[in-house]
Amino acid sequence: MASSKLQLPADDSVLLLVTHSNLSTFAADIRVSQQITVEALKDKLWRKTGTAVASMRLQLRDDTGARIADLDDDAAPLAAYSPYNGYRIHVVDLDPSSLTSGGWLEDTSLVDKYKISDEAYDKLGSKFPHDQSSNFRKFKEKMAPKISTSEDKEDGFETAASDLTIVSQVGDRCEVEPGAKRGTVKFVGRAEALGRGFWVGVQYDEPLGKHDGMVKGTRFFECPQGHGAIVRPEKVKVGDYPERDPFEEEEI
């Protein structure tokens, strides 16, 4: 009796490196189907790089960096340009006013930093005699006894108290609930326009926010439009949260 075999579709995906014209340190490996159109690929790369689709030109380069072709037909499938594993998709940002231009997203030396001594920081509390948590250090110290006495409490209370003391400084990687949205802490402090107490400003890795760091006319931090959020400390967990690969759930 003749045996039958299940015919599985061939895997036509390719593993490519993504680079960016304005971001010298940016590089990401992606695996993508060759049947994806150039327009759909641009849309995915916008979420990864922040460059708008309308301002994006894609180049296909080989593993030596030599340009093979310009992906200039948005309706064409990637297969039309014959990519191979190890080739590179180079994103060229055509917008001179793009957030990625000028190098400020990568070079922190371009950002003016205000430094305050520990002594001066501790004295901030004296300006608010009725508020013993007027700087974040005092706020954490005030919360510490609550953590030690919360061991017999239900898990929800203990976790919330711990989260309040974990948020430490700008630059920390974090995850924000609800939704486990990942990003980087960009602001920690008071925002009276939003309400009393402390707030944490976060730049999400993906456009899951509501603004660019400006809220109600006040600039709290800088980030791409739609990537910013300001939330209460108890919604933020700081830790080793790597940026998610937007291609990891794609069907091949």
More reliable by pLDDT, 6 or 62: 62
Q: Which of the residue ranges 16-30, 209-223, 237-251 would you say has the lowest mean pLDDT? A: 237-251
Q: Which two tokens stand for residue 109?
A: 């030396």
Domains of the chain, first to last: 13-103 (3.10.20.90), 118-238 (2.30.30.190)
Q: Which of the residue ranges 57-61, 136-140, 188-192, 238-242 would you say has the lowest mean pLDDT? A: 136-140
More reliable by pLDDT, 231 or 111: 231
Q: What is the DSSP string of 108-171?
A: GGGS------HHHHHHGGGG-TT-TTSSHHHHHHHHHHHHHT-TTS-HHHHHHHHHHHH--STT
Band of residue 138 on the pLDDT scale cut at 50, 70, 90: low
Enter the pTM of the model. 0.41
- Separation of alpha carbons 72 and 245, rounded Å: 25
What's the pLDDT at 243? 86
Band of residue 204 on the pLDDT scale cut at 50, 70, 90: very high
Band of residue 106 on the pLDDT scale cut at 50, 70, 90: low
- Average pLDDT of 210-239? 92
